[in-house]
Amino acid sequence: MGLTKKYEAIIGLEVHIQLQTRSKAFCGDSTLFGSTPNSQTSTISLAHPGTLPRPNKKQIEYAIILGLALNCEINQQSYFDRKHYFYADLPKGFQTTQNSQPICKGGEVTFETDQGLKTIRLHHIHMEEDAGKSLHEIDPTFTYIDLNRAGIPLLEMVTEPDFRTANEVYHFINELRRLVRYLDISDGNMEEGSLRCDCNISVRLQGQETLNARCEVKNINSARFARKAIEFEIGRQMGLMEDGHEIKQETREFNPDQGITTALRSKEDAHDYRYFPEPDILPLHISEGYITGVRNAMPSLPAFYRQLLINQYGLAPDDVEIIIDTQARVENFRMFLDRNEKIPPKLAANFFINKWFPSEEAEEISKGLDFKIIAQFLQLIEDKKITTSIAYQKIWPILIKQPQDVLELCQKLNLMQTSDTDTIESMAQQVLDENPRQLGQYINGKKGIITFFMGQLMKISEGKANPEIARETFEKLLGK
């Protein structure tokens, strides 16, 4: 029996989402990324004695937006806690976070995977602040500290251990990144650390009810790395169990160059962070009216568009995922279909996915190219006035650079599709006359050779022959 059939992995995540507020969580310092080290550090970021923090309205609003988007229960009475630990880049000696009363409880995330839709439950989402940055590589003997990041507002999302494969985690992180961008609460840039992920992984025998010890892989900043780290970790733990070893609970880190995880420290079960309510910030009371106001201002979500494109337009899930990747894409696509009801959604989807999005991303599209011209272009394909291959290979490259009337262009370049049966029949006859060997093969039962004849005919017609009529003509001539 294969190991993956014998064992099952149990995976839960803690994701830190950096919010795109202009100021920090508890003071007015700027949150701009990449500024001169320690230039965004007032006395509050530096934790001078006697300074008082003030909560950031935007952080609270963003927490509620995310909570509503994921069907969480919004906790109308919540407060901040102090979480104590000692570290050089944490000047206060504690992190201001939420512990016993987080702002959002429960909720769920549904996302597309290779095996269809998957839903995982959330335990909660809480508000907190980031620590500063320790820079170990600048000097061989000293560590440098940059406190620009200290106090930047974060949301921490804690999932239930509902993931079973590394791939599910990969798709989940991509969905989450997409969601925070739709909601406009975070830039979702993983390279800049705007989404960071801790993965808790344990492995047990299929059918086993209890959980084995888990390992936590810290601070992963890419969906691909998360998938790799988890795959490695599942393999490592299965290997140990096969050899009769016990898994030790520990914190590990992922090395992207080697694709492996290594032990950082063994973990005693409960850290003593000496949590207690933050005495310098009043508890938060969030009114029903405020929540309703936030709810009414929410944009449409990826899940809404996913349903719409599949159910109303009948598109394939793989295509839909590409179209809903950004709100701009899906909104443009919808607007196009609304204005051009005669163009089949599938034809439009193919065009947008294969031509429009890539060209737009590469900034190849000339400013004058508008949806009226695109509609004319697709309508000519739909009406079989031009073939798809001519449209994409010859006409589209011209339109990108020089937007113009598509019909006139096709006529000028003599690219209109030929549906004239007499012309096609004479070309088909020519193909058969010129290829007696293949004709013989066809007569001897090799019916697939008709594809060859079609290819030859397309060559003679320079791609302009209507393929359906051409095929019918061959079938007629060959006496199907």
Structure tokens at 268: 């005693």
477-480 contacts, C-beta under 8 A, 24 or more apart: 477/425, 477/428, 477/429, 477/432, 478/432, 478/442, 478/450
Any long-range contacts for 95-101 (C-beta under 8 Å, 24+ apart)?
A: 95/128, 95/129, 95/131, 96/25, 96/26, 96/53, 96/128, 96/129, 96/278, 96/281, 97/126, 97/127, 97/128, 97/129, 97/156, 98/126, 98/127, 98/128, 99/126, 99/275, 100/275, 101/75, 101/77
Element (H, E) at 154: strand 153-159
Tell me the sheet residues that pair with 205: 7
Region binding Mn ion by CB under 5 A among candidate stretches 3-11, 153-161, 243-251, 402-410: 153-161
- Map residues 244-283 to x or -, x wherever contact with Mn ion holds by CB under 5 A: ----------------------------------------
Q: Which segment (43-51, 150-158, 328-336, 397-405) binds Mn ion by CB under 5 A?
A: 150-158
Closer to Mn ion by Cβ: residue 13 or 431: 13
User: How far is the C-alpha of 85 from the C-alpha of 168, rounded, in Å?
Assistant: 33
Of 73-81, 156-164, 260-268, 278-286: span binding Mn ion (CB under 5 A): 156-164
Specify the residue, 99 or 418, whose C-beta has the smaller distance to Mn ion.
Answer: 99
Closest CB to Mn ion among residues 153, 302: 153
Least distance between Mn ion and beta carbon 128 (Å): 5
Dihedral sign for Cα atoms in the order 436, 438, 441, 447: negative
Total residues contacting Mn ion by CB under 5 A comes to 1
Nearest CB to Mn ion, comparing residues 81 and 112: 81
Q: Which is nearer to Mn ion, 81 or 156 (CB)?
A: 156
Q: Is 81 in the site for Mn ion (CB under 5 A)?
A: no
Of 102 and 107, CB closest to Mn ion: 102
Nearer to Mn ion, 273 or 392 (CB): 273
For residue 245, what are the contacts with CB-CB under 8 A and spacing of at least 6?
Answer: none
112 is a contact residue toward Mn ion (CB under 5 A):
no
Among residues 331, 281, 282, which one has the least CA distance to residue 305? 331
Q: Which stretch binds Mn ion (CB under 5 A): 134-142, 149-157, 243-251, 436-444?
A: 149-157
Q: Can you tell me which residue has the tokens 């009529």?
A: 469
Tell me how far, at minimum, the Cβ of 49 lies from Mn ion, in Å. 25
Q: Other C-beta atoms within 10 Å of 369: how many?
A: 20
Are the CB atoms for 97 and 45 separated by under 8 Å? no
CB of 95 to Mn ion, least distance (A): 7
| Residue with the CB atom nearest Mn ion in the bound state | 156
Nearest distance in Å: CB 156, Mn ion: 4
Q: How far is the CB of 116 from Mn ion (least distance, A)?
A: 32
| Rounded least distance, CB 126 to Mn ion, Å | 8
Whose Cβ is closer to Mn ion: residue 156's or residue 278's? 156
Of 83 and 178, the one with the shorter C-beta distance to Mn ion is 83
Q: Is-contact 432 453, C-beta < 8 A?
A: yes
Of residues 173-192, those binding Mn ion (CB under 5 A): none
Tell me the closest approach of the beta carbon of residue 13 to Mn ion, in angstroms.
12
Q: Please tell me whether residue 156 binds Mn ion under the rule CB under 5 A.
A: yes
Residue type, 316: A
Which residues in this chain contact Mn ion in the complex, by CB under 5 A?
A: 156
